[in-house]
Amino acid sequence: MRKKERNQKIIAALEEVYQGTGTALHYRSPFELLVAVILSAQCTDERVNKVTDRLFPRYDTPEKLGTLSQPELEELIHDCGLFRSKAKNILGMCRSLIDDYHSEIPQTLKELMSLPGVGRKTADVMLSVAFGKPAIAVDTHVFRVSHRLGLSDGKDPLAVEKDLQKLIPKAKWGEAHHWLIWHGRKVCRAPRPRCGECPVADLCPSRAVED
Residues marked active site are found at 121, 139
In this structure, the number of other CB atoms found within 10 A of the CB of residue 177 comes to 27
Is 141 within 8 Å of 180 (Cβ atoms)? yes
CA distance linking residue 160 with residue 197, whole number of Å: 25
Q: Please name which of 190, 207, 182 lies closest in space to residue 22, comparing C-alpha atoms.
A: 182
Q: Outline where 19-156 has alpha helix (H).
A: 30-39, 45-55, 62-65, 70-76, 83-101, 109-113, 120-125, 140-148
